[in-house]
Chains A and B, each alone.
Chain A
Amino acid sequence: MVKDKNRTKKESLRHTVQGLWTVATNSFVTGFLKGKIYTGPLKNLCVPGMNCYSCPGALGSCPIGALQSVIGDRNYSFTFYVVGFLMLVGAICGRFVCGWLCPFGLFQDLLHKIPFFKKTGTFKGDRILRKLKYIILAVFVVILPMCVADAVGIGDPWFCKYICPVGTLEGGIPLVLLNEGLRQTVGFLYTWKIAILLILILLSLIIYRPFCKYLCPLGAIYGAFNKLSAVSLHCDKSKCVSCGNCNKVCKMGVYPAEEPRSAECIKCGLCIKECPADALNLGVKNK
């Protein structure tokens, strides 16, 4: 009972941070009222999580969109600016961004809270599917935008164009609803992206964060930084009683006591409250 209360308190704090961050980084109200996007200087900067820069309220740039736009540009084949930004954020907090600062993560968290649907922790093929996000990162975010160019030498943002459900949710749906001109240009691609979004919404009702687990290239990048990030989950082995509670409560399928720096850990902190020996903590150093 006490554990349940603690768990709910921790989740409420995280959802509050996620909500405040989402509002703060998407607070261009005029965009929502007029069906336009923010065009000010803040868009020089990337936000740490998946947040489409074509969302009417977005104040910053999406790092995955920015990565593709620079490496797809005819003047560059590599982006020091965006890679440097990802290294900086990754080295500071790794996938903490996914757990606490990603608007699409919040969206999936809330969907998963809807009752009536039987929740599935893991299933056959889950481990292999987790590798898919690395393939998507390599192929759709790096290789195709870099190597396939149009007549004027500019590469398409392949991930944004054919996969990203964040752009559909945050940009596609509101802009098409609010902007008459855009509404008239809707075609197969829009239907395709709506279908991907709908599938992910349905999956989110039964599987925790399917986009983060299987498809998100940003999660793949930050996951690699989990191994060295300053803010990390720590396990004091001298206190750990190997009860396995941390593993049972982890919705990302991680075993925090065994692998506190797992690339799949989004540092939500649920396992900390669940530990009877107080062996886990989230921070810069071990307690």
Chain B
Amino acid sequence: MKKKEFPIKALVTSLIGVAFMAFGIYRGEMATVLAKAIRICLECIGIG
């Protein structure tokens, strides 16, 4: 018998993920990510 399941767990988790992202952006985390990403990360490349 073929199972036709709606991926409800995935949908709920996605929505929680979007809510988390929105809250993270609201409290300014995106600026921290950008600040790190636009400078050469010396640790990442094995220098710092």
Interface residues of A (CB under 8 A from B): 36-41, 43-44, 46, 52-54, 61, 65-66, 69-70, 73, 75-76, 79-92, 156-157, 160-161, 164, 167-168, 171-172, 175-176, 182, 185-187, 189-190, 192-194, 225, 228-230, 234, 236, 238, 284-287
Contacts and interface: CB of A to CB of B under 8 A. Distances in A.
Given A167-B44, A167-B46, A81 B25 contact: yes
B33 A185 contact: no
A65 B44 contact: yes
A53 B32 contact: no
Contacts of B19: 84
Contacts of A36: 40
Contacts of B30: 44, 81
B13 A225 contact: yes
Interface in B18-32: 18-25, 27-30, 32
A84 B21 contact: yes
Contacts of B27: 76, 80
A167 B45 contact: yes
11 contacts: A36-B40, A43-B33, A43-B34, A44-B30, A46-B33, A53-B36, A54-B40, A80-B29, A87-B16, A91-B10, A189-B47
Contacts of A167: 41, 44-46
A189 B46 contact: yes
Contact of A37 (B2, B29, B38): B38
A175 to B, nearest CB: 6
Nearest to B34: A44
B40 A37 contact: yes
Nearest to B30: A44
Contacts of A82: 24, 29, 33
- For the complex of A and B, the 8 pairs showing the least CB-CB separation, nearest first, are A81-B24, A84-B20, A87-B17, A88-B17, A80-B24, A84-B21, A167-B44, A193-B46
Nearest to A87: B17
Nearest to B4: A285
A36 to B, nearest CB: 8
B40 A171 contact: yes
B19 to A, nearest CB: 7
Contacts of B10: 91-92, 228-230
A141 B46 CA distance: 16
Nearest to B27: A80
A63 B31 CA distance: 14
Contacts of B32: 69-70, 73, 75-76
Select the residue from B25, B37, B45 with max chain A CB neighbours within 10 A. B45
A187 to B, nearest CB: 7
Contacts of A175: 40, 45
B21 to A, nearest CB: 4
